A and B are shown apart, each in its own frame.
Chain A
Amino acid sequence: NAGVMQNPRHLVRRRGQEARLRCSPMKGHSHVYWYRQLPEEGLKFMVYLQKENIIDESGMPKERFSAEFPKEGPSILRIQQVVRGDSAAYFCASSPALAGGKNIQYFGAGTRLSVL
């Protein structure tokens, strides 16, 4: 039973390039969350998606960042024209449908983005 899969594990980009981070949720999970962790800090919520829908993007920077979770395939976090301040660990989590309760989020191993 595979867990949350993120790739790549490490991504190096030069300033101005685009970064694409992928996340495949656990089998049977329909909810995906993206979090960012800056060095020596906790994880900060970015965006919450269900299949083909963005439910909450209140944590996403207004520019350059976008996310999608298509009907088929993984969820993608896209960062355009990266800057050095985008260097961080990006974690994806998934959970099953909420069904009125609180559901545990299961995390992937993260993608470490380094912007040169």
Chain B
Amino acid sequence: DQQVKQNSPSLSVQEGRISILNCDYTNSMFDYFLWYKKYPAEGPTFLISISSIKDKNEDGRFTVFLNKSAKHLSLHIVPSQPGDSAVYFCAAIPPNAGNMLTFGGGTRLMVKP
């Protein structure tokens, strides 16, 4: 039972253009969402997060949008750079769950020079 889904296993984007990574969830109790980036043979690195009381959070080139009614969030990277090539995971935390993360399956982003 996958509560967090990333339906696109891979995405290819030209350098300088926008990358949009999508994530859907089924548990309406989730109230905090995070995006992590992962390079091969490394651990996930935190990118950006958003609370369910907001619909947008921005940090430099990264913006996360949350649509609670659709149970959907997205990560926008503008402009995309070759160094952004990695696997991106979205994750969610329900309330009163001790902070444990439920991850999606990941999307592999390839940014072409």
Identify the A interface with B (CB < 8 A): 4, 6, 31, 33, 35, 41-45, 48, 55-56, 59, 91, 93, 95, 98, 102-110
Contacts and interface: CB of A to CB of B under 8 A. Distances in A.
Contact of B51 (A6, A42, A102, A105): A102
A56 B100 contact: yes
Nearest to B6: A42
A48 B98 contact: yes
18 contacts: A4-B43, A6-B43, A31-B99, A42-B106, A43-B89, A44-B103, A48-B100, A56-B100, A91-B44, A93-B43, A93-B101, A98-B98, A102-B49, A102-B51, A104-B34, A105-B99, A107-B36, A109-B43
Given A31-B99, A55-B98, A105 B46 contact: yes
Given A48-B99, A102-B51, A104-B34, A41 B105 contact: yes
Most buried by B among A4, A42, A104: A42
B103 A43 contact: yes
Query: Which A-B residue pairs are the 6 nearest by beta carbons?
Result: A107-B43, A42-B103, A42-B105, A102-B32, A43-B103, A45-B100
Given A55-B98, A56-B98, A106 B103 contact: no
Contacts of B105: 41-42
Interface of B: 4, 6, 32, 34, 36, 41-46, 49, 51, 89, 93, 97-106
Contacts of A43: 44, 89, 101, 103
Contacts, number: 63
A107 B36 CA distance: 10
B99 A102 contact: yes
A16 B41 CA distance: 26
Nearest to B31: A102
